[in-house]
């Protein structure tokens, strides 16, 4: 891959190209949508947070896998 989508800063991956920013925005919008859906069906704050954290971990894991596969590693 000649042009990376993400660039690594420590343990974080920041979007580097327009495709990376689109994926980041899509993940963020999806996370907000999932939170609103869970919040509408839950009965307490702890119920909302417990169910949302699992979904947020899945979204973050998928984002990280895509970022690892599409970022360029600097070799020394």
Annotated domain spans of the chain: 43-76
Condensed to tens digits (0 to 9), the pLDDT of residues 55-68 reads 999 999 999 999 98
Condensed to tens digits (0 to 9), the pLDDT of residues 27-47 reads 999 999 999 999 898 889 898
How far is 47 from 68, CA to CA, in rounded Å? 32
73 touches 13 (CB < 8 A)? no
Global confidence as pTM: 0.80
């Amino acid at each position: 891959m000649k042009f990376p989508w993400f660039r690594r800063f420590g343990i974080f991956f920041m979007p580097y190209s327009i495709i990376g920013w689109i994926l980041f925005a899509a993940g963020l919008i999806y996370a907000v949508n999932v939170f609103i859906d869970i919040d509408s069906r839950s009965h307490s704050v702890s119920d909302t947070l417990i169910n949302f954290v699992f979904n947020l971990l899945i979204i973050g894991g998928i984002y990280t896998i895509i970022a690892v596969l599409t970022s360029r590693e600097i070799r020394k």
